[in-house]
Amino acid sequence: MWRCSWLLIAGLAAILPAHADTAYVSNEKSNTISVIDTDKLQVVKTIKVGQRPRGIQVTKDKKHILVCIGDDDAIQMIDTNTDKIVGTLPSSAGPEQLVDHPYGRLLYVANEDSNMVTVIDIEKRTRLGQVQVGEQPWGVFIAAP
């Protein structure tokens, strides 16, 4: 049994990357983002953001972390090289979750408080429109060919 366990661990070590990845976690109550070194399994930095951060994701080009700021009705952009807030995207009331289109230019945001999905041009940092949906949308997903 011991030998099998060791082989499993050795096999897992062989497929894991040699460098640490970084995880970003939104903390709704403290209005912060925790930056985690996944190799050390520890928080290495805390970023102060707007009120009630929720949904979070990295852009396709990996240059920005996008964070739904629920009580500020906005999406904050964090530069992945500096971990500094470098911009804000417009949204509607109560952004919860977001997803960018597979081609990377458009962002779709589920807005809980306005019952809308907001469509944003990431490059131009402008709202293109909104779609009325059901009550309190929390998630959004793009199914593209």
**CA–CA distance from 4 to each of 7, 9, 14, 16 (Å)?**
5, 9, 15, 19
pTM of the model as a whole: 0.81
pLDDT digits (tens), the chain, 145 positions: 333 323 333 333 334 444 568 899 999 999 999 999 999 999 999 999 999 999 999 888 889 999 999 999 999 999 999 999 999 998 888 899 998 887 778 989 998 888 888 999 988 998 999 989 888 878 877 787 6
Which superfamily does 19-132 belong to?
YVTN repeat-like/Quinoprotein amine dehydrogenase (2.130.10.10)
Count the Cβ atoms, other than its own, within 10 Å of residue 121: 13
Domain ranges of the chain: 19-132
